[in-house]
């Protein structure tokens, strides 16, 4: 009897041992083709890197130089590549890509292929080489280095003929053999046609898919840089995302087609694509790629840079953020501070992973090495997976005590391909399950997906993967409770007198005052636009009640609203200059039209405000004016530096009592027949 019992026991151990053995030696899911190359995987892990646009265009205040400006125009006096690199490093970026040559053909290195290069400029008496200086600075500070070499060359006399293609390939050879390792090579897609072309000044059209022989270009690059990523051309390893405003699709597949050299759906990728071609989002911190003084006031806000981050890195794309280096050869202090601050904000938002100590369970586990715990360990190469034959799964995080969160980061183990097609989130508090928005159902994940939603408090978090192209392979899941984004409200009054206080984070609370006092959480709370049919100062702050923190105070001086006067000069679109919107403007005919307002009552008039159109590339800005009260000239003059800095102009003078004012434009920046007015108001005491 004892012997039988012992045998059963031994048998049991044997079976258990055998089962454990099998459980732990379950094979990984087969890769789902197409999969990324090792170099592509390393590229994904970089996530953000910087772009520099600098060249003759900078000195000519242009975006697309014609190719005819002499190299002598290029003269940065204080160039400092280390300042560029340190800015990017402090902003968490892993690399920098330089426009070694833009469409104007001017080369920032000492090339043998043309005279149109930095060696013929006054910079360092012709001894400078910015490709060298930047690649050295990158190596010194541990960043990778990449290059942009425009295929289109509006300077070169051979452009359009076979000779130019040889020149272009020679340029690639110089750049990829003389400056150390290149992590990414950018072939820009622009081929505008017309140009200087050595003086021919004509239109030259080519077929970009054939003309440049990109296959040969790739071979030259790979000779010294076998792991280099290639952007554009006919043999890319990454794809353009299809826009330049910083946004990948919420559905974003790393897979696509390179069919007849056309990429299909740049924004979303293609779920059934046959090559791994992940998206790169390129966007500039200012409207232009190159520096223009007149865009100093249009530097992207922290709020819009944050949105760009979540719409690129948070949507399975890499972010290539451009710095338009200024004329002195440095990134403007405002730009560099803005981007470093933005990085600190994002880092802070994604700092404390609240899933770290959760108990993790799943409805389906492939085997011991594929445990759901793998999604919260720090090992990128370990992942949770399910059994073959399943195209979904469920993972649950349980917390000892309720946890707050408003961000969720998910990552798939992409070496085995991109799989997830549909998933949603649910939370449980006090035994009740509820859906967590951002939307009912999400689609792709890929290398990284970050979701933002309203703060929820949970005992349990469940992620339900409804559809996947094969067994799930999820290597990382993190959740965070990001603090409110404390940007000061944007204050605007519309044509009807309603004041709007806009903030980017709808979880924040806004408080305001209308009596000049400083607002705090005991002031009036803003919940919808309010009527302000008077003159006065509106002050507003954004408040984070969890951390008891305030944004800077936004201040706006509002003059008497449109309801307190009649416009006596007829025009259909006068409402545009009282609507608080700097993008809508009124055109006034020079030497003929003016703005004339008659107040309902006599006023003590002491000045006026003029805002030119805030559209990009704005022209016809008023530079000189006359201002009358009841027919008497009370002020005349010019708006200094308005062309470079088209911000609101405030003119004040000794108060004059009167009812009717007239603002007459005298000159505009372009000596054009019309000028523009986006906003106008009269200051009264
Ligand atoms: C575009 C170019 O035409 C722009 O000037 C800029 O270089 C941008 C990154 O790519 O296609």
Ligand 1 mean position to 153 CA, how many Å?
A: 13
Distance 332 CA to ligand 1 centre (A): 20
Distance 412 CA to ligand 1 centre (A): 32
- Is residue 637 in contact with ligand 1, taking CB distance under 6 Å? no
For the segment 97-114, what is each residue's pLDDT rounded down to a tens digit? 999 999 999 999 999 999
Q: Is the CB of residue 104 less than 8 Å from the CB of residue 148?
A: no
Low-confidence ranges of the chain (pLDDT < 50): 1-2, 10, 14, 16, 18
Output the CA 289–ligand 1 centroid distance in Å.
7
Residue to substitute in 96, 190, 292 for testing ligand 1 pocket (most ligand atoms within 8 angstroms of CB) = 190
Q: Which atom of ligand 1 is nearest to the CA of 188?
A: 11
Residue 191 CB–ligand 1 contact under 6 Å: no
pLDDT score of 5 = 52
189 CB near ligand 1 (under 6 Å): yes
Average pLDDT, rounded, for the chain: 93
Residue 229: CB atoms within 10 Å: 24
pLDDT in tens, 526-568: 999 999 999 999 999 999 988 899 999 999 999 999 999 999 8
Are β-strands 509-513 and 536-544 bridged in parallel, bridged antiparallel, or unpaired?
antiparallel
Determine which residue's CA is closest to atom 3 belonging to ligand 1: 190
Among 186, 241, 289, 291, which residue has the most ligand 1 atoms within 8 Å of its CB, making it the best to mutate?
A: 289
Q: In this structure, what DSSP letter does residue 568 have?
A: -
The answer, yes or no, to whether any atom of ligand 1 lies below 6 A from the CB of 412, is: no
Nearest atom (ligand 1) to Cα of 99: 7
Top mutation candidate among 244, 286, 617 for ligand 1, by most atoms within 8 Å of CB: 244
Q: What are the helix (H) ranges across 319-468?
A: 333-349
Q: Is 494 in the pocket of ligand 1 (CB under 6 A)?
A: no
Atom of ligand 1 nearest to the CA of 189: 11
pTM, entire model: 0.88
- Any atom of ligand 1 within 6 Å of the Cβ of 190: yes
Give the atom of ligand 1 at the shortest distance from the alpha carbon of 290: 5
Task: Say if CB 323 and CB 335 are below 8 A apart.
Answer: yes
Whether 54 lines ligand 1, by a CB cut-off of 6 Å, is: no
Contact 426, 433 (CB under 8 A): yes
Nearest-CA residue for ligand 1 atom 10 is 188
Residue 280 beta carbon below 6 angstroms from any ligand 1 atom: no
Q: Atom of ligand 1 at shortest distance to CA of 102?
A: 7
Ligand 1, atom 6: nearest CA belongs to which residue? 289
**Substitution candidate for ligand 1 out of 54, 105, 188 with most atoms within 8 A of CB:** 188
Lateral strand order in the sheet of 95-101: 229-231, 184-186, 144-149, 95-101, 48-53, 318-324, 279-284, 239-240
Distance 498 CA to ligand 1 centre (A): 40
DSSP 620: -
What Å distances lie between residue 99 and 50, 204, 221, 404, CA to CA? 11, 23, 16, 44
pLDDT at 1 (0 to 100)? 46
E strands present in 54-209: 95-101, 144-149, 184-186, 194-195, 202-203
* Ligand 1 pocket residue status of 289, Cβ below 6 Å: yes
């Amino acid at each position: 009897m004892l012997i039988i019992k012992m045998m059963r026991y031994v048998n049991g151990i044997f079976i258990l041992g055998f089962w454990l053995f099998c459980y732990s030696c379950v094979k990984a899911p087969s890769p789902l083709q197409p999969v990324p190359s090792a170099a592509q995987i390393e590229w994904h892990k970089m996530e953000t890197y910087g772009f520099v646009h600098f060249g003759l265009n900078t000195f000519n205040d242009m975006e697309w130089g014609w190719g005819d400006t002499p190299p002598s125009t290029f003269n940065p006096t204080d160039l400092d590549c280390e300042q560029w690199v340190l800015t990017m490093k402090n902003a968490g970026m892993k690399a920098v890509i330089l426009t070694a040559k833009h469409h104007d053909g001017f080369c920032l290195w000492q090339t043998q292929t043309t005279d149109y290069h930095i060696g013929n400029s006054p910079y360092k008496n012709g001894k400078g080489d910015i490709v060298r200086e930047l690649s050295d600075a990158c190596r010194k500070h541990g960043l990778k280095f990449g290059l942009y070499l425009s295929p289109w060359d509006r300077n070169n006399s051979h452009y359009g003929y076979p000779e130019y293609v040889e020149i272009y390939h020679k340029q690639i050879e110089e750049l990829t053999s003389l400056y150390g390792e290149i992590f990414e090579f950018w072939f820009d897609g622009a081929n505008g046609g017309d140009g200087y072309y050595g003086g021919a000044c004509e239109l030259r059209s080519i077929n970009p898919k054939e003309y440049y022989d990109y296959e040969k270009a790739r071979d030259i690059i790979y000779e010294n840089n076998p792991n280099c990523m290639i952007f554009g051309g006919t043999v890319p390893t990454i794809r353009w995302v299809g826009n330049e405003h910083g946004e990948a699709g919420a559905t974003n597949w790393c897979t696509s087609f390179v069919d007849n050299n056309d990429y299909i759906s740049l924004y979303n990728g293609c779920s059934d694509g046959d090559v791994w071609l992940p998206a790169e989002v390129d966007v500039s911190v200012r409207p232009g790629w190159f520096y223009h003084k007149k865009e100093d006031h249009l530097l992207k806000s922290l709020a819009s840079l944050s949105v760009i981050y979540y719409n690129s890195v948070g949507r399975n794309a890499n972010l290539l953020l451009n710095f338009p280096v200024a004329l002195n050869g440095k990134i403007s202090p405002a730009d560099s501070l803005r981007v470093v601050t933005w990085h600190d904000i994002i880092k802070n938002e994604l700092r404390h992973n609240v899933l770290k100590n959760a108990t993790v369970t799943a409805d389906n586990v492939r085997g011991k090495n594929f445990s759901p715990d793998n999604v919260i360990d720090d090992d990128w190469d370990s992942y949770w997976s399910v059994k073959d034959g399943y195209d979904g799964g469920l993972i649950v995080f349980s917390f000892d005590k309720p946890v707050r969160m408003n961000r969720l980061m998910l990552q798939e183990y992409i070496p085995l391909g991109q799989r997830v097609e549909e998933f949603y989130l649910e939370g449980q508090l006090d035994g009740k399950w509820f859906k967590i928005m951002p939307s009912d159902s999400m689609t792709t994940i890929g290398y990284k997906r970050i979701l933002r939603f309203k703060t929820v408090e949970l005992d349990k978090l469940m992620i339900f993967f409804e559809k996947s192209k094969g067994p799930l392979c999820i290597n990382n899941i993190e959740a965070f409770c990001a603090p409110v984004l404390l940007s000061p409200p944007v204050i605007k009054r519309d044509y009807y007198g309603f004041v709007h206080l806009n903030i980017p984070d709808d979880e924040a609370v806004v408080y305001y005052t209308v009596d000049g006092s400083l607002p705090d959480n005991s002031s009036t709370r803003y919940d919808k636009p309010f009527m302000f049919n008077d003159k006065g100062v509106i002050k507003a702050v954004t408040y984070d009640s969890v951390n008891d923190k305030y944004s800077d105070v936004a201040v706006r001086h509002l003059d008497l609203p449109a309801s307190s006067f009649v416009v006596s000069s007829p025009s259909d679109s006068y409402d545009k200059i009282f609507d608080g919107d700097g993008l809508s403007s009124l055109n006034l005919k020079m030497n003929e039209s003016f703005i004339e307002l008659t107040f309902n009552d006599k006023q003590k008039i002491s000045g006026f405000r003029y805002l030119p159109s805030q559209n990009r590339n704005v022209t016809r800005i008023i530079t000189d004016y006359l201002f009358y009260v009841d027919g008497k000239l009370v002020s005349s003059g010019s708006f200094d530096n308005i062309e470079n800095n088209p911000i609101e102009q405030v003119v004040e003078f000794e108060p004059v009592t009167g009812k009717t004012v007239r603002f007459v434009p005298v000159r505009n920046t372009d000596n054009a027949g019309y000028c523009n007015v986006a906003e106008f108001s009269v200051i009264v005491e």
